[in-house]
Each structure stands twice: as C-alpha cells, then as structure tokens.
Structure 1
Amino acid sequence: MKSILLLFLVLFSTSYYAGAQSRTVTGKVTDTKGETLPGVSIKLKGTSVGATSGMDGRYSINVSGNNSVLVVTYIGFVTQEVAVNNQTSLDIALVSDVQGLEEVVVVGYGTQKKVNLTGSVASVSSEQLEKRAVTKSSLALQGQMSGIQVRQGGGNPASNGASLVIRGQGTFSGAGNSPLVLVDNIEASLDLVDPNDIESVSILKDAASAAIFGSKAANGVILVTTKKGVAGKPIFTYNSYIGKTEATMVPEMINSWEYAEVINQVFLDAGAAKRYSDADIEKFRSGTDPVNFPNFDHIGNLFNSGNGISTRHDISARGGSEQTQYMFSLGYYNENGIITKNDANRYNIRVNLDSRLNDKLKFSLKMAGNLSKNSQPSGVNGLGLGTIVGGAMRNANSIPGRMPDGFYGRNETLHPEADLESASFLQNSGTNFYTNGSVIWDVFKDLKITGQIGHTYGLNQSKAYVAKYAITPTYGNALNSLNENWYQGTALTLQTIAEYNKKVKDHNFYLLGGISGQTYDDKGLGAFRDAFPNNSIYEINAGSTGRGRSRTRRRAASRTSR
C-alpha cells in the first residue's frame, strides 16, 4: 500500500511540474478586417511579462501553465483579455473602439467627433473631474491627460492655485506661458469656476487646433463647458467634503546643544575662543532653563500652529421641460492652512438656462458669481507668510520663541513668533460676476449662426496692515501702517459665428467663419496711511497721514476675424 501511495505522489508531482513548465506562445494581431497591427501591447495578466507586436503584427511571449491570460491593448481599439489554455499559437483580432471614436469633444467654437479630428485635442469629462476632491478647478486637471503640466506652487490657501503649461515652456519672455482659458467660449479664469459646475474640459495642444484663436492661443487653449439642465423632473445633487492637510516633510533642525557644539567648532577652526562653555551646553541639553538655554523648534512650531482642515459643500438642481432646461448651483468652501491665521473661503452661485424659442431659434443664458476672501499673517519686514517662514528656517533652536514675560527671542531682524502673534495681516477679497448670453439660429439643416455676448466683472481689494508691537523690552515696531489697493476690471465680448456642416456619403465638409471683438476696462486705486491710534482700527481714513496715493486706468480693445 505504501509503494502504491509513493508511486501516486511521484506521478502527481511529475505531472504538476510538467504543467507548470514555461512555454512560448506566438501569434498575429490584426483588426476585424484582417489588417495587421504593429506596436500592440501584449501582457501576461498579473505579471510584468510583456511583448509588443512587430511591423507584421506578429508577437512572441513566454507563459507558464494553462490558466494564463493575455491582456491586449492598442490605442483606438477595445482592450481584450484572451485565455491561453494549452495553445502555443494564438491569433488575436482586435475590435475598434467605436464609442471612443464617436465621442464628441469641444474644439474651437464648436464640437467634433474624435474620429474627424486632425489636431491634438485631449478632453476630460465631469465624471472624471468629480472623482477629485479639490478646492480649485485648475487642480482637478492634474494627472488627467498627457501634454499638460499642472504645478501647484505652494500650500498657502491664499495662493494655492496651479499653474498650467501645455507641452512645455514656450518662451522666457514677459508674454508668459499661460494658456488661453475660455469658459463657454468667453475668456475667463479657470479657478473662478466651481469644479462641480464643469461638464467637460478640452485642451487644444497644437498649433493646428488652436490657430483659430489667433496669437492669444500661442500657449494652447483650455475650453471649459459648464453643465446644462436636463428635461424631466428636477435632479438634486449634494456633495460634501472634509479633509485635513499636513506637511509632508518638515525640516528637522538640530538641537540647541548640537548647534552650540557646531558653533564652538567653527570658532576654534577660526582660531578664536569657544562661544559656549561646557556648562552652557549641558544646560541646553537638560532643559532646566528654557528661557536662557532653550531648545525651541521654530519651524516645527510654525507648521503645527494651524489645524489644516478644509471643507466644501455643493448643491445643485437640474431639470426642465422639452422646451426649457435649467441648472442651478450653490457652493461654499473653506480652507484653513497648517499655519495659524492662514485661511481662505469662497461662495459660488451659477444659473444656466437653455430654451428653444421655436423650431429654428434657441436661447442660452449663463450667469455665475463668486465672493472670495483669504488672509495670512504678516510681519514688519515683508508682506505675507514668506518672511515668517524664512525667519523660522533661519532661527536656530538656541533662540527662544515666546517667553513667559510676553516678549520674544530674535535673530537680528528675524522674529517669526512675534510676527505670527502680532495683529499684522495681509488680506485679499474678490467679487466676480460672469454673464454669457447667446442666440442660435438654425438657418437650414446644415447651416447654423450663433450670436454671443459675454461680460465679466471683477473687483479685488487688498489690505496689508503692519501692527505696532514689542518684540523685546528695547526693540519692536513702533509705527503701525496700512497699505490698501482696489482693482476693478471689466471685459465685454461680442462675437458671431457661422457653421456649415455637410455630410455626403462617407465624406464630411465643415466650414466655420465669424468675427469676435473684445473690450477691456481696468482701473485701480491705492492708498497708504500710518500712525493709527491702535491695532484694532485699520481703516484707511483712521490714519494720521495721507501719502503714497496712486491711481491707474487702462482701456484696450481687440477684434479678430475667423
């Protein structure tokens, strides 16, 4: 009996080993018409083993076992998973991704199917954007498509928007590298649009795609289409988000006694006497005298002074009849920084209305607005957080922060804790309104004429207040001051576009022509005063002097024929 069992185990092990042996599978990849496909990616599912078809469509790949599955992918075709079983020769026929080719994307002053595009256009839908928990629309494009660089310059809620560069930096001149942004065909800022109001974003990356917009499109074009209403019962949507921001890496500063030892070595190398005695170093290490011999981590204290909590709430309603559809949305977001007194908030509102007046006329009205406000602590030697963060980075742990007597340690003019706890601030607030109306006339089956008017209005106010505060018993800022600036900008766009789209059998003829004109009116006002009676009154008319006033105004107009 033992001999029979042993023989069975030997035979089972031999058959299992033979079944698990590696073998080569070869074949040919074609489309459904039998045309060979070069450059097709063939990967063994669940492994890093892969191969690519050659110019003749043939491939060769090593597999093990009869349960292997090949994952075959190729641009413009549906991804397939093919079971190998016990085959050593396996031909694969890929099916065209008709749905992807039939997808309609927004291009210059119109829409086209992907299959008809000759330029480089990338698009992202609302379904993809809604998966991203972001506070600004520019951040939602990060990692969504190739050819566009999305860089967030910092985590300060007051200025944490992303810069967008399409296909790399094109110039080092003052013209900049920012792309042209059009919201529903009207020039506007991407970050002024609530991410939840966006239906789709198209990126025109090459010269052929963006040429219709002229010289403004030298750095590419970003086309934003906002959501519309839908016929039927109202659909209500509510989105809520809460998150917490933390510094991914905080510089680790050396301890105060280690700093003292390093300074001593520097002095000895220079031929001078040591600055700190052994007893001083021991007091730094023991922590028995935190006022005179502290070990205070300035940068760690700064980056942990705020809670970093952000919240966002959005509610929208979409509905209407076959004749008229509407979309209404409200949004609010608040973001607290990882540094105290650093925050930003914004309120959004949008109304989109689409109505068919008769068989040939359609009317569209889009209105949006937002109120925003952000603030950050400031200091006497520079506006905003920059000087405070720089001071915290430069101050050694041997310099105290806030002391029991209410004064602060300092390194010459660097005193980040005193600046942070002072009444100094940099505050910006903005009010923006956007109106876009258009009439679409279907002249006949293949000809459509669109008349559009767009108006944008922006009012921004900046207040930079430097408080009066003591830093040490003999040193401080004795004169408070306020610098206030107002900026108002308006833009008016008028354009008429004619589109002719004719299909004859398998051929499509598309012609577009039109004219567009823009006028801009910008004006600003600045004022400065100092010697305010206290740190609680920081209105410009409460100061004692009135010097440093300024006023600017700019008007411009442009017209472009398409």
Structure 2
Amino acid sequence: MFKRGVLFVLLLLVNLSLMAQQIITGVVRDSGGQPMSGVTVLVQGTTVGALTGIDGKYSLQLPAGATTLRFSFIGYTEQQVAIEGRSVINVNLAEEVTGLDEVVVVGYGTQKKKLVTGSTVQVKGADIQKLSTVFPMTALQGQTPGLSIIKNTGQPGDGFKVNIRGMGTIGNSQPLYVIDGVPGGNIDNMSPADIESIDVLKDAASSAIYGSRGANGVILVTTKRGTRSTGGVKANISYDGSIGWQNLYKKLPLMNAMEYANIVDEARINSGQPRLDFASLVPDWDRISSGAWEGTDWLDALSNKNAPVINNALNITGGSEAGTYSLGLSHSLQEGIFGNPVESKYERYSFRLNSDFILLRDKTDSWTILKAGETLRYVNSNNHGVGTSNQYWNDVFSTIIASPFMPLMATDETDKAYPYHYAIPWNPQASNPIAQRVYSRGQNEGKNHNLNGSVFLEVQPIRNLIFRSSFGYGMSAGSYRQYVPLFDLSATSFNTTDDVSHSLSAGFQWSWENTLNYNFNLGGDHAFNALIGTSTEKWGLGESINGNNSNSLFGDFQHAYIDNTPVIDVNLTGVGSSPWGEGGILSYFGRLGYTYKDKYMITGILRVDGSSNFAKGKRWGYFPSVSAGWVVSEENFFQNAKNTINFLKLRASWGQNGNQAISPFQYLATISFANVNYFFGPDKAVVSTGGYPDVLPNPDVTWETSEQINVGFDARFLRNSLSVEFDIYSRTTFDWLIRPSMLASYGIGAPYVNGGDVSNKGIELALNYNGGKREFRYSVGFNIAYNKNEVKRIANNEGIFHG
C-alpha cells in the first residue's frame, strides 16, 4: 500500500513538472515578412532563452511562472509579448529608428535624416554629456569629419578656433552659431548638460538659407525642452555629476643644472673661449657639482599637479497637454595644469529655462492654432589666467628658457625678492620666472555675464500653414581687474609702484525673424514644403571703459579698485572709453522642397542680404542653392540587394554664400584723432588735437562670395547597424576680402579690397557601428577628412600681398 502511495505521488509530481515546462514555438519575421535568424527570444525576468534558426523558427521550454517573451535583435525594435496560455507565438520585428527616420535640425525647420539632401552631421547632446567636458566643443573634437576644432590656448576658459572644410577667408573664418533659432550666439560659454543636439551644416546648400552669415558653415545648437503629457503635469528630474583630474601628458625634457653647465662649457670651448668659473657665478655650485642638487626644474615648479575638473548638472523637464517646460542648473570648475602657485582657473554657473504653451486649438482638437514660448539662458563665469601671449608675456615660455642655476625660493630674508630668489650673477638681468608670474600676472580676475533669450509666437490658421515670429536678445557684460605689487627681481625686472587696472564693457544685440511655412501633399505621393521669411539683426550695441592708476591705499588685490588709488599722476593715471562697432543686416529668404514617395528629393533656396558694411549700390547680395537626393534603396530593382545594403541615398548640391565680416565704413575716409597732438606758434604749453583720414576709402568693396559643389552618399549595412557617409566637395571663395599693407609714408591706412580667390577641395568619410546585446549597447565611430587649401588668384599685378 505504501509503495502504491509513493508511486502515485511521483507520477503526480512528474505530471505537474511537465505542465510547468510548457513548450512554445513560433517564427520571427521582419516587417517585409522575411524570416530572421539569430533573434534572441528570452523569457522575461529569467535567463531562459533561445535563438531563431535560419528559417526564423524557435522552440523554447517555458519555466514555471513564465508570463512574457522578449524578442530582440540589433537594429530592430525590441518587442515584449504576453504568453497568455498560447503555445505558438509568431512575431514581426520592425526596424528601429537608426538615424534615418530621426528628425534633424535644418535652417528654420526640421527634416527626416533620410530626406536630407545636403551635407549635415548631428551629434546628440547625450553623447556630448557622457564625455564630462567643461565645453561642448571639446566633446565635438573628432566626432565630425571636416570640422576642425583647436583651442586658442591651453588655458581654462579660453575659446576655440573652429573651421568647417578649411579656411576660405583671411578675416573671420568662424562658422555661424545659431542657438535655439537665434543667430550669433556663443557656444563656448554653454554647459554641455543644456544641449539636446548639435547639427553641423557643412555644404552651401545646407547653409545657404543663412546667406552671408553661413559662408563658413553653420552650427545649430538646440537646448533641451520638455515633453507633453496627457496625465497632468509631470516632471522628470535628473542629476549628472563628474569629477576628474588633469596632469601634463608629456613633459618637455629640460636639462638639469649640471647638464646645462656642460653644454655652456662645450659651446665656449668650441668657440675658442675658456671655461667659466661657475662657483663664482652660481649659488650652491658645490651642491650642483657634487650631484646633491640638480637645479631648479622651472616647468615642474609651474605645473599644477592633479588639476581638478568638476561638473554638476540638474535638469527638470516635463509638461502637460497645454505646454512643456525644461529647467537646467549647472556648475563647472576647471583648473589649469600650469600657473602654480597661483594656477589659472575657470568657474561657470549657468541657468536655463525653456517653455512653450498651447493657447488655442481648433474645434476638432486636431491641431494647434496658437502657440507661444520662450528660451532663456544666463551664464556667469569667472576666470584667472596665466600669460599666453608672445615671448615677453608667456609664462610657459619663460620657464622653459630659464636657467636651472637659480634657486626658486630664497633662504635669506634680506634677499631683495624674498620669499623668492633674486637674480644671480650668472645672469643679473634674468628674473625668477615663477616670481615674475606671481607678481606680474598672478593677481587678476575676469568676470563675465551673458544673458540670451528669445520669445516666439506661432499661428496656424489652417493645418500645416504656420506663421512664426521670434525675437532674440543677447546681452553680455564683463570686467577685468588686475593688481601688480611692488617687486624687485633683477636688474631689469622691477616695479617701483603698485599698479591697479580695471576695465568694464557691456552691450547687446538683437534679431527679429518672421517665417511662413506650408507643408502639403498632392495625390499622396507628392510632398511639398514651402518657406518664406525675413530676418533683421543688429549687433555691437555697447561700450567699454577702462582705467589704471598706481599707489593703492591698501596694497592688495582684494581692494584693487581705481577708487582706492586717489592720487592722480599724469605719468601713472590713464582712462579711456569707446563704443563697440555697430553693424546690422536685413535679409529675405525662401525655400521650396519637393519629395516624391520619399524616394526623389529636390530643394531650392534663395537668400537676399543687405549689409551696412558696404556703400549704396553694393549692399545687396543674392545667394542661391539647389540640392537633390535619390534614395536608391527604395527602388524595385534594388530590393534583392536590400538585405546587404539596407539603405542607400545619393545626393548632390550646389550653392553660394556670402561674407561681409569686415570693419564698417570701408567705403568712407574715416577720421582718426589718435597721436596727432600739435602746437600753434611758440607757446608749447597749449596742446591742440588734430585729426586725419586714417583709411583710404574704397566705395567698390563688396560681398565675398563662396561657391561650393558637394556630391556624396549615405548608406546602411548589417541590418542598419553600420552607417557610412561619404562626401567630396569643392569650394571656391571669390572676391576674397583682405586688407593689404600700405607704406607708412602715405600717411593713411589701406582699406579692405576684394583681393582674389581661394579654393578648398576635399573628401570626408564617416563610419559608425552600433551594436550590443540586451541591456549592453555600444557604438564605435571612425571618421577621416582631407582638405586642400590654395590661393588661386591675387588681384594685383605682382600676384602677392606684402605683409
């Protein structure tokens, strides 16, 4: 009886086990119905899974409690399917958005990446923020082919020299920055945490909508915005913080004191001179000759070891059915790797607020009739710097050439330079470079305030016809303050008065843009986009003031203000002020785009700019462009190859841009009053101020025009995991704006002239691979660019401009 009971229980357990381990099968296909092999089929919440075979089929034994299957494959959108007691589950996986259907920012609008006919590159803000840099341009280095980014100096807080596809002009060759639709912004003071995306417009067809401002390319920056929610007001709060340390990667191998002495002796012997008596010229020579002291390593003394880099960012985004908002607060701190003991430093605080609100919807609640919004950014930055100018004002250069014989610090309190060491007999004129740095350039501070904002109103009286009016405003204010104390470091390096200098500047610019955009379809296959607009800009509306004096009441940097130097001395006191250089531009533009079945695309653009920098009759420039694209992979004859080449688009463009970035009023003989004082008669006590024409007028100076041809293709391979973008271009700048030299005996300065032609030709290739399994994802990028720059013509008989 007992054996029968045990057998019954065992049979029951086996039956329950078999019931728990249900077999489930199915087929996985793509959106076109083709079987997919290698798809991962995983039971949600477990490690139980299987791979589909070459026929797309899978078979899986379900564990007890299984409720959901997860289907995933690189390049396709993951699906989670409830089992619900089924034994057969068939799935069709759709290709995920891989950049082709993503929306990218173009001039005055957005467009699907697959339909873009110009040469553009987009970098996501999330990819920029991951690199934990203080400046966005640092994160962009190496990510975009054809984009050259070089920091002006290695000092924290300094800007960048940016060129797109080479230099086309001698003057301002920087690209145009458009931040949240407002042209003329400064990306250098932005926090990477505030950026949603950066789009680089490289060819003339892409940047022609910006006319004269886009001759050197355009960089569009979009800051983060909120998302609408149907369940009431919701907020997403995120914090991102990082801390790192910097050190000199490779130090210049400087000679120690004994090596330096040997080189000096060798040079003297080779020139027939006797050896030097170093013991009479160099302090502590006995310690140097015995090897007890190797001398001063000035570069090492200047280095700031483990210089910190700190970033903190808080973002709050959200919205409701009626509107969205995005709030950002960030702080960044970076110390320089040089400058010790008063190292260079840059610190920035930023605040950002973006919002938009739906004010009116149509009766059917299917589209927005009236919408308004704003963007607002405030940045406060402080910086302390080192000398980075020429050989006479460069702290790194000074330490490299300094003799290792001189000690850094003095041990004798009677030393003239105490606590630093005074110049030694070896070279009485050579000062202690660290002391020189501390006294001459170590006590300074720059403060900057930047406020940028815009407001916009959108009216959509009928579906897809949108009128948008936006007003942008940018204000900047800055100050620089420096204190130089009394010091005596050598026979030629001393300061007999303590000096205070202070400068202030403030100004603003504004822009007003109005556009009318209409998207419509004819017959379902023919899609049109039409845009017309006008833009008005004014900049340089500001002024600067500066002053310097000596003999401070307090003798320290904290109180280094002009008010604390009350004694006026004609030889020591100086003041000055000046306005900023004003400029303005008025523009009209239009764009017409046509797409047939998302297969054939063509776009035409015309922009007309009027600039105050040129004389009447020369002020208006006309800048057209045309571009076309063909998505070959959408053709019927290409379908058999689509499993290998998932996407292929050919594109070509031609366009013109202009440049008017020169000093204003070159068509007039402007008058200068600088350094032209004189006396009437024998009385030399009364000084009269004179004036003279300082520029030879050139009424014929006009627009510099840049013409560019671009041919390229975009392709996707390996189920859209591998993207390839290739471009070949030729850009020629005609009527190159340049200011030639002129003999001083002429008594007048040369004006800007249209002086020749410059050519830039090159190729660009970018490869990107996105892969991974399940929660682990990775991406690998490679890009290369080649550019050849050549001056093709100089517009004078000699064929050369003398500098």
Tell me the TM-score range normalised by the shorter chain.
0.7 to 0.9
Deviates more, 1:196-205 or 1:147-156: 147-156
Residues 453 and 474, structure 2, Cα contact 8 Å, conserved in 1: yes
Correspondent of 1:459 among 464, 477, 485: 477
Structure of greater Rg: 2
Pick aligned residue for 1:345 from 330, 347, 350? 347
Structure 2 residue aligned with 1:266: 267
**1:415 and 2:432 correspond:** yes
Deviations 1:452-499 (A, max 9, x none): 011111001112332212326996321222232212120111110111
Provide the secondary structure at the position in 1 that maps to 2:385: strand
Of residues 201, 222, 234, the one that matches 2:219 is 222
Indicate the SS of the match to 1:157. coil
Aligned to 1:275: 276
Rounded to whole Å, the distance in 2 between the matches of 1:418 and 1:157 is 22
Q: Is 2:545 the counterpart of 1:525?
A: yes
Counterparts of 2:494 and 2:97, CA distance in 1: 71
Q: Which residue of 2 aligns with 1:435?
A: 453
Q: Give the percent of matched residue pairs that are identical in Structure 1 and Structure 2.
A: 26
Question: What secondary structure sits across from 1:262 in the alignment?
Answer: helix
* TM-aligned CA distance change 1:114 to 1:158, over 3 Å: closer
TM-score (norm 1): 0.77
Asked if the contact 1:531/1:545 (under 8 Å) is kept, the reply is no
Q: Which residue of 1 aligns with 2:397?
A: 390
| Rounded Cα–Cα distance in structure 1 between residues aligned with 2:212 and 2:490 | 57
Report if aligned partners of 1:384, 1:425 keep a CA contact under 8 Å in 2. Answer: no
Distance, in Å, in 2 between the alignment partners of 1:539 and 1:525 is 14
Deviation sequence 1:159-181 (CA, Å, 0-9, x none): 2x33221112222x22x210000
Shift in Å, 1:384: 12
Cα deviation for residue 336 of structure 1 reads 1.7
Equivalence for 2:406: 399
CA distance in 2, matches of 1:456, 1:183: 11
Instruction: State how far apart, in whole Å, the 1-side matches of 2:286 and 2:143 are.
Output: 55
Q: Does 1:320 align with 2:319?
A: yes
Residue in 1 that maps onto 2:377: 368
Q: 1:362: how far off?
A: 0.9
Q: Are residues 1:239 and 2:240 paired?
A: yes
- CA contact under 8 A between 2:104 and 2:111: conserved in structure 1? yes
Show the 5 A alignment for 1:102-251.
102-159=101-158, 161-171=159-169, 173-174=170-171, 176-187=172-183, 188-230=185-227, 231=229, 232-251=233-252
Distance 1:385 1:156 in 2: 17
CA offsets 1:153-204 (integer angstroms, 9 cap, x no match):
4331142x33221112222x22x21000010111210123221111111111
User: CA contact under 8 A between 2:501 and 2:561: conserved in structure 1?
Assistant: no
Question: Contact (CA 8 Å) 2:554, 2:564: kept in 1 or not?
Answer: no
| Corresponding position of 2:575 | 549
1:390 & 1:401 partners in 2: Cα distance? 17
Contact 2:431 2:489 in 1 (8 A): no
Unaligned runs of 5+ in 1: 1-31, 34-77, 81-94
Change (3 A) 1:158 1:197: closer
The CA RMSD measured in Å over matched residues stands at 2.8
8 Å Cα contact 1:377-1:384 kept in structure 2: no
- Structure 2 length as normaliser, TM-score? 0.55
Partner of 1:494: 512
- Higher RCO, 1 or 2 (CA under 8 Å, sep at least 6)? 2
Q: CA deviation at 1:284?
A: 1.4
1:376, 1:385 within 8 Å by CA — same for their partners in 2? no
Tell me, yes or no, if the aligned pair for 2:235 and 2:317 is still in contact at 8 Å: yes
Secondary structure of the structure 2 residue equivalent to 1:112:
strand
Size of the aligned set, in residue pairs, is 464
**2:148–2:163 contact (8 Å) kept in structure 1:** yes
Kindly state the Cα deviation for residue 427 of structure 1 after the two structures are TM-superposed: 2.0
- Alignment match, 1:27: none
- List alignment gaps of at least 5 residues for structure 2: 1-31, 34-73, 77-93, 362-368, 413-417, 590-803
Instruction: Quote the Cα distance in structure 2 between the aligned partners of 1:312 and 1:373.
Output: 15
Shifted more, 122-131 versus 359-368: the winner is 122-131
Deviation track 1:515-561 (CA, whole Å, cap 9, x = no partner) reads 11112212111112123245313111222336332211143322111
- Residues of 1 paired with 2:493 and 2:451: CA distance? 47
Deviation at 1:438, TM superposition (A): 0.4
Deviation at 1:297, TM superposition (A): 0.6
- Identify which of 485, 502, 519 aligns with 1:484: 502
Q: State the SS of the aligned residue for 2:137.
A: helix
Q: Secondary structure at the match of 1:462?
A: strand
Letter in 2 for 1:418: A
Q: CA contact under 8 A between 1:391 and 1:415: conserved in structure 2?
A: no
Whether 2:555 is the aligned partner of 1:559: answer: no
What is the deviation of 1:378?
6.0
SS of the counterpart of 2:289?
helix
Shift of 1:218: 0.6
Letter in 1 for 2:296: F
